[in-house]
């Protein structure tokens, strides 16, 4: 019996050393982040350290937050995000420090605006961009690779600015996106990119399904077969109730183009062709 206890202690000690060495040896260089992919589950991480691994990772997060002289509320928020990612199957041994640092960045960003998730009561009210951001992250179940997380956060809140009417409309668009794709097998990173592309449109016009598909393919998030037919239904279901005026404007534009007998490309191409070299390009309608 004592031999078994000693073996368990030795395994625990070995797990602690392995996790500590992994955390200390990991680097956060952009090159590494760009090539890192999310594992489908967290069994590998938990099987190595179990609660020991979680405790050590949380201790590391607390120590880093303390060194940066962050508020206690920010530390609690970072730990909360880390637990979310572990429970959703995102954290593995090799990726532990990358995810821990991502959680710290998220906590620093959102603690200042009082936003820690739309479903969690707060004393303060989060700014709309932060609420939308966390809404999307929650619905994606936090299953995004680290580079996509940073890209999504940067584009969504830091670079995309919308006046209140457009912002409210964007909220409805994103909600409808997730209602529609809830039972679909879409890549979570692709859904984040969909939101980015939608919000980057000046007047929130939905991109034609072929153009959106091409953009996602070029990002390397999905293949063309996955989205070719799905986005046609997706565009109709998600946007038609809110965009009847868009169709009227499109019909007017078509009539004007017919009157002018214009041969130039339209602003929103409706079809796409693939070259023999493999490059995708838009085939503009006359």
Phi and psi at residue 217, to the nearest 5° = -65, -40
Rounded to whole angstroms, how far apart are CA atoms 229 and 210? 9
pLDDT, tens digit, 9 for 90 and up, residues 217-273: 555 554 444 444 444 444 444 444 434 433 444 445 455 555 555 444 333 233 222
What does the block give as tokens for 219?
């990002």
Sign of CA dihedral 44, 49, 55, 60: negative
Average of per-residue pLDDT across 168-196: 57
Sign of the Cα torsion 194, 199, 205, 211 reads negative
Q: Which pLDDT score is estimated for 63?
A: 81
For residue 182 the two structure tokens come to 């809830």
Q: Which two tokens stand for residue 224?
A: 């063309």
Reported as half-sphere exposure (CB side, CA atoms, 13 A), residue 24 has a value of: 6
- Predicted TM-score of the model (pTM): 0.33
Structure tokens at 259: 């009157």
Task: Give the containing element (helix H, strand E) for 191.
Answer: helix 188-199
User: Is pLDDT at 195 greater than 60 in this prediction?
Assistant: no
What mean pLDDT comes out for the span 143-162? 51
Q: Say how far apart CA 107 and CA 110 lie, in whole Å.
A: 5
When pLDDT is cut at 50, 70 and 90, the band that residue 202 belongs to is very low
What's the pLDDT score for residue 32?
A: 37
Model pLDDT for residues 94-139, shown as the tens digit of each residue: 667 667 777 777 777 777 554 444 333 333 344 555 555 566 566 5
Nearest-angstrom CA–CA distance, 212 and 231:
8
Max mean pLDDT among 51-65, 89-103, 173-187 falls in 51-65
Distance CA 96, CA 90 (A): 9
Q: Dig out the tokens for 258 from the structure.
A: 């017919």
CA distances from 46 to 20, 43, 98 (A): 14, 5, 16
Domains, the chain, in order of start with CATH, read 1-112 (1.10.472), 122-286 (no CATH)
Mean pLDDT for the stretch of residues 41-50: 44
Do residues 270 and 285 lie in contact, with contact meaning Cβ atoms separated by under 8 Å?
yes
Beta-ladder partners of 281: 273
């Amino acid at each position: 019996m004592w031999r078994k206890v000693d073996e368990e202690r030795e395994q625990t000690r070995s797990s602690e050393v392995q996790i500590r060495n992994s955390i200390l040896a990991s680097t956060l260089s952009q090159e590494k982040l760009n090539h890192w992919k999310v594992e489908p589950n967290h069994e590998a991480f938990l099987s190595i350290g179990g609660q020991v691994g979680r405790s050590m990772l949380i201790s590391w997060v607390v120590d880093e937050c303390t060194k940066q002289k962050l508020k206690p509320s920010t530390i609690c928020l970072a730990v909360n995000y880390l637990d979310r990612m572990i429970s959703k199957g995102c954290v593995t041994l090799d990726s532990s420090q990358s995810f821990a640092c991502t959680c710290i960045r998220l906590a620093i960003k959102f603690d200042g605006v009082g936003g820690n998730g739309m479903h969690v009561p707060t004393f303060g009210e989060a700014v709309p961009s932060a609420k939308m951001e966390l809404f999307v992250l929650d619905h994606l179940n936090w299953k995004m690779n680290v580079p996509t997380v940073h890209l999504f956060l940067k584009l969504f809140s830091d670079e995309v600015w919308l006046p209140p009417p457009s912002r409210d409309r964007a909220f409805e668009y994103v909600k409808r996106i997730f209602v529609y794709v809830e039972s679909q097998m879409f890549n979570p990173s692709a859904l984040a990119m969909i939101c980015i592309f939608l919000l980057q449109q000046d007047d929130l016009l939905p991109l034609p399904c072929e153009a959106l598909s091409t953009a996602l393919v070029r990002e390397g998030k999905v293949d063309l077969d996955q989205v070719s037919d799905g986005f046609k239904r997706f565009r109709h279901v998600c946007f038609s109730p809110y965009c009847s005026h868009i169709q009227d404007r499109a019909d007017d534009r078509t009539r004007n183009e017919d009157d002018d007998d214009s041969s130039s490309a339209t602003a929103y191409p409706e079809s796409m062709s693939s070259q023999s070299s493999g490059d995708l390009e838009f085939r503009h309608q006359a």
